[in-house]
Chains A and B, each alone.
Chain A
Amino acid sequence: MDLNALIAVMIILPIASALFLNLLHKKDRTIKIIAIITAVVLPIIPLLTPYGSHFFGGYLPLAQNSTLAQGLPAIITGTQLSQFHLGIMYVFSSAQQLMIFILGIITFFAIFTFINETKKPSGVYAFLLFMGTASLSAILLSDDIFNLFVFFEIAALAQVGIVVASGIKDNYETALKYILIGNIAGPLLLLGIVMLLGVTGNVNVTDMIFSIKNGFVDPQSPVLLMALSLITFGWLYASGLPPFHTIKSEVYSKALPHGAALIQAFSVFTLVAIGIIIIRLFSYNPFTHIAIIGISVIAMILGITMALMQTDYKRILGYLAVGELGYIGIGLGLGTALGITAGLFQAINESVITSFLFIGFGTVLYKTRTSDTKKLGGMMYVNPKVALLVLLAGLAMAGVPPLNAFQSKLMLIQASIQSGLPEIGIIMILLSIVTFMTFMKAFYTVYMRPKPKELEVLDNKIPKSTIISLVAFLIICITLGLFPQIATSSLQTLAAGLV
């Protein structure tokens, strides 16, 4: 049996399960069972799948596809045209394996906490979560840039759905804002993609690189530059870097905790996927790296300083998540093998830690039904175990050894010094300290200061599954912190291929 077909299963399984769950209305038990089974299987598939590529419809390039090439004139089969990919191609290697595994883990715990925290789990919400995961897996795997765009639009709609379903005050307004802004940025991203198509005549990234490298296309042509700038703009929208940081952090804060955990994982992995494509296509242009670094530095500074000014703890986390995205961008922008490895490693760490924080602080929302830090306090006495776990998550985010972000941030600083830009290392250290301060401010106001009289703590017990999820995230953090080579060894191949 051809195990490469499992690459397609990674996308088909969550979509099929999502569509099926959507049909089941009010059958709570069935929904629970199916959702849990799918969520358990999701992280396992990438571990079983062998590395390789999958051609949809079996359309191999003509050079390897003798039945299709039969009878075609030499103008097609004899030239480079026969090397081009005909259908949609998915590439699966060790880096994709790790990232989809982590995405699957986060999806699993999001579904797990969602099912146990809500009394009547709705199939539609699970549909949205699975749909998002499926499209993100496709974005990570796809070598076809238009396929990426389609799944990207699906992911955006799924995010809007998650926000609409949350039931938090003013969530409809946020959803409408996000979708309106997405309707400006999405078509412009598509415009960039089709400009690439117009210049190279292809939508497959490998083929486009082939065309650019082999002189079929003038690398300095203005249309190519326009495509680069429009795709960069779409990348900013997709990952929530400035000027999209306000809307993205608002989206995080208006989703339920498990939804927010998943949405931020979506942003992180879209940033990685599209960022890698930009670097693969345009690394011949030195300005690409400068622009990525510049945008990332702005994202870090704006995200973290704005986080300090907020009073809603979900908004604080949202802005901190945006600030952390800047670290990943810097890793990609440095352009050295070490830098890109560090950036990808930081992406994995950040998606885990931020999910950890969102779900951890989500217990406060579960207990008190408020997220305003002005009204909160004294949660330490209500729930000391969760408080300890959240504190550890904050330490991890700030980069305290032996937790995982320490390793990736150390690598990032080493990479920046190696590339002759020690200033970036200094900024990163400075902003890490401020991140920790911001986190401690939120932690103090929510957990440590005396409880305000008006605050009512509901009597419902925090489900065991939430605690289990938090502990599992902590275990991942410690494992990656103590043995970073587990992650870096699988990321190195991809990073080395990008230089």
Chain B
Amino acid sequence: MREVQKKAEEDQPITNITASAMLAAELTLIASVLVAVIMVRLIHPVLMIIMIAAVLIIAVMARPIMPRLRKEQNDDLNNMMFYIVVALGIVVALFYWGNLNV
């Protein structure tokens, strides 16, 4: 029953505005991530080239990214908590690693 409801929600008519917004968001995401990755050149130029290639491949393989990203970032409390604890781990680990290596 719930699955049917969910499907009905997903099948809402997609208007021109939402479609174009999704496309624009996707392009923005890829473009800005690509530009941001160029900053890796400060660490090592070869690493930058590898990472740009990786980002391009991921962008092509995982297309379309935006609907998935949208689905991941919902308002569910458990989901939010999960990301928050993951972020805590990342921040703590990064600061230790970063201080040893930068």
Q: Does B91 contact A (CB under 8 A)?
A: yes
Q: Which candidate, B1-9, B18-26, B49-57, is the interface stretch facing chain A?
A: B18-26
CA distance A184 to B82 in the complex (A): 12
**Size of A's binding interface in residues, CB under 8 A:** 52
| Given A181-B80, A427-B35, A308-B24 contact (CB < 8 Å) | yes
B30 nearest CB across to chain A (Å): 10
A181, A302, A427 interface centre (most CB from chain B within 10 Å): A427
Q: Give CA–CA (A170, B102) in the complex, Å.
A: 46
Known: A243-B83, A309-B22, A437-B24. A229 touches B29 (CB 8 A): no
Whether B84 lies near A177 (C-beta < 8 A) is no
> B38 to A423, Cβ gap below 8 A?
yes
In the complex, are the beta carbons of A291 and B84 less than 8 A apart? no
Distance of A437 from chain B, by nearest CB (Å): 6
User: Are B95 and A301 within 8 A (Cβ)?
Assistant: no
- Scan A269-284; emit 1 where CB is below 8 A from any B CB, else 0: 0000000000000000
Nearest Cβ on chain A to B7's Cβ, whole angstroms: 19
B99 touches A243 (CB 8 A): no
Query: Cα distance A302–B81 when bound, in Å?
Result: 18
The contact of B25 among A220, A308, A444, by CB within 8 Å, is: A308
How close is B73's CB to chain A, nearest CB, in angstroms?
Answer: 5
Given contacts A233-B91, A287-B95, A445-B17, contact A301 B33 (CB under 8 A): yes
Contact of A301 among B32, B73, B87, B88 (CB under 8 A): B32
B28 touches A304 (CB 8 A): yes
A184 touches B24 (CB 8 A): no
**Are A430 and B98 interface neighbours, CB within 8 A?**
no
B33 contact set on A, CB distance < 8 A: 301
B-chain residues with CB within 8 Å of residue A181 when the two chains form the complex:
77, 80-81, 84
* A-chain residues with CB within 8 Å of residue B18 when the two chains form the complex: 311
B31: nearest residue on chain A (CB-CB)? A430
Complex Cα–Cα for A245 and B98 (A): 24
Given A177-B77, A225-B95, A308-B25 in contact, is the A244-B84 Cβ separation under 8 Å?
yes
A423 B87 Cβ-Cβ under 8 A: no
Kindly list chain B residues whose C-beta atoms are within 8 Å of the C-beta of A291: 91, 94-95, 98
Q: Give Cα A311 to B94, complex, Å.
A: 35
**Bound Cα distance from A308 to B99, whole angstroms:** 36
Picked from B28, B36, B75, B86, the residue with its CB within 8 Å of the CB of A243 is B86
Q: Which of A290-346 contact B (CB under 8 A)?
A: 290-291, 297, 300-302, 304-306, 308-309, 311
Residue of B nearest to A177 (CB): B77
User: Is B39's CB within 8 Å of the partner chain A?
Assistant: yes
Measured in the bound complex, the distance between the Cα atoms of B33 and A23 in whole Å is 53
Q: Nearest A residue to B98 by beta-carbon distance?
A: A287
B35 lies within 8 A of A177 (CB): no
| Contact status A301-B29, CB under 8 Å | yes
CA distance A363 to B73 in the complex (A): 29
Query: Which residue of chain A lies nearest to B15 when distances are taken between CB atoms in the complex?
Result: A374
Residues of B within 8 A of A444 (CB): 17
Q: Mark A411-433, 1 if CB is under 8 A from B, else 0.
A: 00000000001011011001100
Is residue A485 within 8 Å, beta carbon to beta carbon, of the partner chain?
no
Which residues of the other chain, A, contact B24 by a CB distance below 8 angstroms?
A: 308, 434, 437
Neighbouring B residues of A364 by C-beta, 8 Å: none
Closest CB in chain B relative to A327 CB, distance in Å: 13
Distance in angstroms between the alpha carbons of A291 and B33 in the assembled complex: 16
For B31, list chain A residues within 8 Å (CB): 430
Interface residues of A in 432-455 (CB under 8 A from B): 434, 437-438, 441, 444-445
The reply to whether A229 and B95 form a contact with Cβ atoms under 8 Å apart is yes
CB of A220 within 8 A of CB of B74, answer: no
B92 at the interface (CB under 8 A from A): yes
**Shortest CB–CB separation between residue A10 and chain B, in angstroms?**
33
Query: Quick one: which of A250, A286, A305 contacts B28, CB cutoff 8 A?
Result: A305
Chain B residues with CB under 8 Å of A229's CB are 91-92, 94-96
| B80:A177 contact, CB within 8 angstroms | yes
Contacts of B73 in A (CB 8 A): 245-246, 302, 306
Looking at the complex, which one of B39, B75, B91 makes contact with A232 (CB distance below 8 Å)?
A: B91
Does B59 make an interface contact (CB < 8 A)? Answer: no
Residues of B within 8 A of A245 (CB): 73
> Can you list, as one digit per residue, whether each of B54-84 has a CB less than 8 Å from chain A (1) or not (0)?
0000000000001001100111010011011
Question: CB-CB < 8 A to B80: which residues of A?
Answer: 177, 181, 243, 246-247
Contact A250 B75 (CB under 8 A): yes
Given A180-B77, A441-B17; A220-B66 close (CB under 8 Å)? no
Contacts of A230 in B (CB 8 A): 92
CB A431 to nearest CB in B, in angstroms, measures 6
CB-based contact B95/A232 at 8 Å: yes
Please judge, given known A-B contacts A246-B73, A250-B75, A430-B35, whether A305 and B84 are in contact too, CB under 8 Å. no
What is the CB-to-nearest-CB distance from A34 to chain B, in angstroms, rounded to a whole number?
37
**Bound: A387/B86 CA distance, A:** 42
Contact of A225 among B36, B84, B85, B96 (CB under 8 A): B96
- A228–B25 CA distance with the chains assembled, in angstroms: 34
Q: What would 9 more interface pairs be, CB under 8 Å, given A305-B28, A445-B17?
A: A229-B91, A233-B88, A233-B91, A236-B87, A236-B91, A243-B80, A301-B36, A308-B22, A441-B21
Closest 5 interchain pairs by CB? A287-B98, A229-B95, A308-B25, A243-B83, A305-B25
A-B contact pairs, 15 of them (CB 8 A): A185-B84, A222-B96, A233-B88, A233-B92, A236-B91, A244-B84, A287-B98, A301-B33, A305-B29, A308-B25, A309-B21, A309-B22, A309-B66, A424-B39, A431-B28
